Amino acid sequence: MATNKHATIRYHALDICFSNPGRKYFIDDLIESCNCAIYDFSGISGGIKRRQIFEDIRFMESEQGWSVPLERYKDGKKVYYRYSDKSFSIRNQAINETEAKQLKETLLILTRFKGMPQFEWMEELLIRVESAFNLKGTDKFIVGFEQNPYLKGLHYFTEVFNAIQYKKTLNIKYQGFKQTNAVEITIHPYFLKQFNSRWFLFGYNEGLRTISNLALDRIAEIIEVNIKYIENKTVDFEEYFEDVIGVSISENREPVKIVLQISKDLWPYIESKPIHGSQRIISKDNAAIVIELSLQINYEVTSLIFAFGDDVKVLAPAELIVSIKNKAEALYKNYL
């Protein structure tokens, strides 16, 4: 099956053409119909080539497709296409072999959510889909996701999820790691993010008048309150985390240039798994590689660099050098 973009749209557009006995669809007509269908769906115009349509037809006629009863009729020097069975349509057919395979793969991914609060319906849905489409063997896990089902506070996930979806203001009793007592926070929830197997809620904090993040495992109690919900009109959470590693973000802090010297032994790992999307090489020789990152300095980036041990040396900025040095000295004192 062609896996390129908009394949399904093209198949259904061609199916409509082949099913229409009142018009002769030549290859140029088929191209135009597919382009129109894609434009109606995505606003993208043009781009479909003759070769692509021939490949689509070949797939639709195959057993992996729908084995469509397609006939080619000569009209002068040109050929038009039409189903020999006027009642046939791929919309009336069961899923084909390729679709079944793709559906199985999708079900395997969806099993990630089994057991998660708010997704209790997933297990029943998987059983019903397997039964309806005769898909067996989808319970064999071949992909492992990082997830901690025993995480404290996970039972709040559903309540927070619904509050975001239905725009409800929450009063949360919250006790941070360094706090001796819980404090009450009125928050307008906007976004849930998972990091390092923990879940974090981002929302507008009325007391601080800014965006805050709260770890679900540090929440003691949640109460929905009758306070007008403040809509999120300023933060695009698809871009919000671009300049950070982790979830600790300071809205008033600009990203800085972080320069790191990487040992040649660690470099293959860093090269294959960049620390951040801004990573770029400044210099490289037989002894070490020097890279530059553009990031906010926060707890997560400091901890990550420290975890690399003596395979990474911070060259800049001074603030980060001091932070790593202090952590190293504190660690050394633990073993005196």
pLDDT > 60? residue 254:
yes
pLDDT of residue 172: 97
Q: Which residues contact 180 (CB under 8 A, 6 or more apart)?
A: none
pTM, entire model: 0.63
Phi, psi torsion values for 261, nearest 5 degrees? -100, 120
Q: Please tell me the least confidently modeled range out of 75-89, 139-153, 156-170, 283-297.
A: 139-153
Mean pLDDT of 82-101: 80
29 pLDDT tier (thresholds 50, 70, 90) = very high
* Whether residue 262 has pLDDT greater than 60: yes
Is pLDDT larger for residue 113 or for residue 92? 92
Furthest-apart CA atoms within the chain: distance in Å: 94
- Give pLDDT, residue 130: 63
Angle of helix 27-42 versus helix 7-18 axis, rounded to 10: 130
3-state secondary structure of 86: coil
Residues 6+ apart with CB under 8 A from 82: 18, 20, 21, 24, 25, 70, 71, 73
What is the band of 218 on the pLDDT scale with cuts at 50, 70, 90? very high
Q: Cα separation of 121 and 106, whole Å? A: 16
- Strands in 25-26's sheet, in edge-to-edge order, are 25-26, 78-83, 70-75
| Whole-number average pLDDT of the chain | 87
| Structure tokens belonging to residue 129 | 């889909």
- Assess whether pLDDT exceeds 50 at residue 43: yes
Residue located via tokens 């600009």 = 254
Q: What is the mean pLDDT of residues 152-164?
A: 88
How far apart CA 18 and CA 86 sit, in angstroms, is 9
Compute the average pLDDT of residues 105-132. Answer: 62
The pLDDT of residue 68 is above 50 = yes
The more confidently predicted of residues 205 and 93 is 205
Q: How many CA atoms lie within 13 A of 178 on its CB side?
A: 0
Residue 245 near residue 298, CB atoms below 8 Å: yes
According to the model, what pLDDT value does residue 2 have? 41
Domains of the chain plus CATH, in order, are 7-92 (1.10.10.10), 96-145 (no CATH), 161-224 (2.30.30), 256-333 (3.30.70)
Strands 256-263 and 198-205: unpaired
pLDDT at position 97, please? 64
CA dist., res. 110 & res. 41, Å (int): 26
Least confident window among 6-15, 22-31, 83-92, 126-135: 126-135
| CA 39 distance to own-chain centroid | 25
* pLDDT above 50 for 112: yes
